[in-house]
Chain A
Amino acid sequence: MVSDFATLPPRRTPLYTEHLKLGAKMINFGGWKMPVFYSSILEEHQAVRQHVGIFDISHMGQIRVSGPSAVRWLNTLLTNDLQRLKTCDGQYTLLLNEQGGVLDDLIVYFRGNNDYFLVVNAAKIEEDFDWMQSRLLADVALSNLSDHFAALAVQGPASAELLRGFGDLPIRNKIQEFRIQGIPVLLARTGYTGEDGFELFYPAAAAAAVWNQLLVLGVPLGVKPCGLGARDTLRMEVCYPLNGADLSPLRTPLEAGLGFFVDLKKSEFVGRSTLLTQKEAGLKQRLVALKADGKSPPLRAHYAVFVGDAQVGELTSGTQSPSLGIGIGLGYVDTPFSNPGQKVEIDVRGRRFPATVEKKPLYKKGC
C-alpha cells in the first residue's frame, strides 16, 4: 500500500494545522498525513469507550450519485441491495472487482429523490471513482466531492449529549441535514468504533470552526481529540475490517465474513458469479477473530497461525486490546479451524503463544 503513494507527497486534511497545534504525532496513512495520536492511544481509546472522542476523518472520500437510474446502476456495482433503502437510510456495502475481490468497503446513504451519498476509504477515492466512471450510464450523474468536505467522527456514549444542543439527532444508521452555528452539516449516526456515534460531513472551509467548537463544548463531557491509533484499536475490538489489511482484491466478502452485506438474490452485480461459485464450492479460508489465551506480546498483522505443526492461517490485523488487556487479532484461517472455540497458536518472533478463535465482536459493551 505504501508504495502506491511513495512518489506523491502526503495530502493534508483541512484540519492539518489544528492537529499540529494540539501536538499530534503525524503519520502517513493511505496517502495522507494524519494524526496517529495526540496524547496516548490508550487514553484516546478509553475516552471513546467511556465518554466521547472526535476523529478527523476528512481523508475519507465522498462521492455523489444521482439521477433516475442511480439506484439501478449502483445495484450493479455494490453488493448490498439498495432497493431496500428508505430516504435517509445508510447501508454498509462493498465494491468488488470482476473476480469478486474487495476493491473497497463503504457506506451509501440514500438522500431521497434518486440521490445517493457514498463515503469511501481515503486510499481508494480515485480508484473507486475511476472504476465507477468507466461503467457510468447516460442518465446517472457521478461526482467526486471529496475535496469539498471536511468530516469528523464523534464517537462514544456521550456523543449524543454533545450534539443534542444543536438540534434533533438522527437514529442509528440514518443521515439528515443539520446545522452547527449556521454551518450546514450532513449528520449520520454511524461509526467505526462500536459505540454510539456520529459522522459529520460539512464544507471544508468550516473544518476548524466545527472541530474546535465541539472540542470546547465537550470538555465537561470528557472529550478528547483522537487519532488513527485509537481508531484502529477500537475497530479491532469490535472486529470491523480495515480495507488494505483485512480486506483486499484477493479476498471476497464471503471469506471476510461479510455475507450479510452481500445480496446474492440481486439479479446481477460485479463479482456476483464468482461469489456464487465460491458459495457452492465452500470457502477455503475465513476471516476470524482471535484472542490470546493469556499474556502475550500484542498480536500483529502477518503473524502466522498454527494448529500443531501446520500453519493454518495468518493475521491481517492485531493489537493489544486496551479494553480487554490482552492480545487480539483478525486473520484468515483455513475453514476447518475457523469455528469459535478452536485452539490455535500464534508465532511471535519464533515463539508460540496460545490463542482461541472467538465469536465476533471481541468486545461488547458491559463485558
Chain B
Amino acid sequence: MLVPDDLKYAETHEWIRTEGGIGTVGITDHAQAELTDIVYVELPQVGTRLEPRRAAAVVESVKAASDIYSPVSGEVFEINSELESNPALVNTDPYNAGWLFKLKLSNPEEISSLKTATEYMTQIGA
C-alpha cells in the first residue's frame, strides 16, 4: 500500500497535500483498494464551504456509495472534473490524477492535527 511521506492523513482515509494555503484532497491507496472499481464520483460545487468530518463528496463503487470527508475546513475552489468521464483514476492513481477537490484552507492550523504517513500506516496495519 502506498502512503506517501509528504501528505497528511485523516482517520477516514482521505489525504491532503498543502501548498501556500491551498489543500488538495483525495482518498488513500488503501481506501481505493478497499472500495475497488470506482464507477462514479460526486464532487462538491466550487464555492462550497467544507467542515472537517462532514461529508464533502461521494465515491461510488459497483457495490456501494461511500461518503468522503474533508480533512479540514475551507472553501472549495477547484474540483477534478476529469473524474466525471474517468472515475477509475481514483483507483489507478489515487495520489495524483485521482485527486478529488482543492480548497482554500480557512484554518491552516488544523493540518497539524492530522496523521502523519507513519501514523496512518499504523492505523491501517501496513
Tell yes or no: B25 within 8 A of A by CB: no
Contact B61 A41 (CB under 8 A): yes
Tell yes or no: B1 within 8 A of A by CB: no
Contact B39 A25 (CB under 8 A): no
> Chain A's nearest CB lies how many Å from the CB of B39?
4
Tell yes or no: B121 within 8 A of A by CB: no
Tell yes or no: B65 within 8 A of A by CB: yes
> Chain A's nearest CB lies how many Å from the CB of B40?
5
> Chain B's nearest CB lies how many Å from the CB of A293?
15
| A229 / chain B contacts, CB cutoff of 8 Å | 62-63
- Residues from 190 to 213 in A contacting B, C-beta threshold 8 Å: none
The distance in angstroms between the C-alpha atoms of A320 and B34, with both chains bound, is: 18
Tell yes or no: B78 within 8 A of A by CB: no
The distance in angstroms between the C-alpha atoms of A322 and B84, with both chains bound, is: 17
Contact B34 A298 (CB under 8 A): no
Tell yes or no: A36 within 8 A of B by CB: yes
| B65 / chain A contacts, CB cutoff of 8 Å | 297-298, 300
| A42 / chain B contacts, CB cutoff of 8 Å | 37, 62
> Chain A's nearest CB lies how many Å from the CB of B49?
18
Tell yes or no: B36 within 8 A of A by CB: yes
A 34-46 to B, binary, CB cutoff 8 A, 1 in contact else 0: 0011001110010
Contact B58 A349 (CB under 8 A): yes
Contact of B40 (CB < 8 Å), options: A37, A45, A297:
A297
Contact of B37 (CB < 8 Å), options: A41, A232, A296, A349:
A41
Contact B62 A25 (CB under 8 A): no
The distance in angstroms between the C-alpha atoms of A157 and B58, with both chains bound, is: 36
The tally of residues in A whose CB lies under 8 Å from a CB in B reads 19
Tell yes or no: B51 within 8 A of A by CB: no
| B63 / chain A contacts, CB cutoff of 8 Å | 36, 41, 229, 232, 319
The tally of residues in B whose CB lies under 8 Å from a CB in A reads 13
Contact of B36 (CB < 8 Å), options: A37, A233, A298, A320:
A37
The distance in angstroms between the C-alpha atoms of A296 and B40, with both chains bound, is: 8
> Chain A's nearest CB lies how many Å from the CB of B1?
13
Contact A319 B40 (CB under 8 A): no
The distance in angstroms between the C-alpha atoms of A232 and B64, with both chains bound, is: 12
**B62 closest partner in A (C-beta):** A41
Contact of B39 (CB < 8 Å), options: A36, A37, A298, A349:
A298
> Chain B's nearest CB lies how many Å from the CB of A355?
15
**A321 closest partner in B (C-beta):** B62
Q: Which of B34, B37, B58: most chain A Cβ within 10 A?
A: B37
Contact A297 B36 (CB under 8 A): no
**B39 closest partner in A (C-beta):** A320
**B33 closest partner in A (C-beta):** A25
| B34 / chain A contacts, CB cutoff of 8 Å | 25
- Residues from 40 to 73 in B contacting A, C-beta threshold 8 Å: 40, 42, 58, 60-63, 65
- Residues from 284 to 329 in A contacting B, C-beta threshold 8 Å: 295-298, 300, 319-320, 322
| A41 / chain B contacts, CB cutoff of 8 Å | 36-37, 61-63
Contact B62 A298 (CB under 8 A): yes
Having A41-B62, A229-B63, A320-B60, one finds 13 other A-B pairs with CB under 8 Å, namely A40-B36, A42-B37, A42-B62, A233-B62, A295-B84, A297-B60, A298-B39, A298-B62, A298-B65, A300-B65, A320-B39, A349-B42, A349-B58
Q: List the interface of chain A (C-beta within 8 A of B).
A: 25, 36-37, 40-42, 45, 229, 232-233, 295-298, 300, 319-320, 322, 349
Q: List the interface of chain B (C-beta within 8 A of A).
A: 34, 36-37, 39-40, 42, 58, 60-63, 65, 84
| 13 cross-chain CB contacts under 8 A | A37-B36, A41-B61, A41-B62, A42-B62, A229-B62, A232-B63, A295-B84, A296-B40, A297-B42, A298-B60, A300-B65, A320-B39, A320-B60
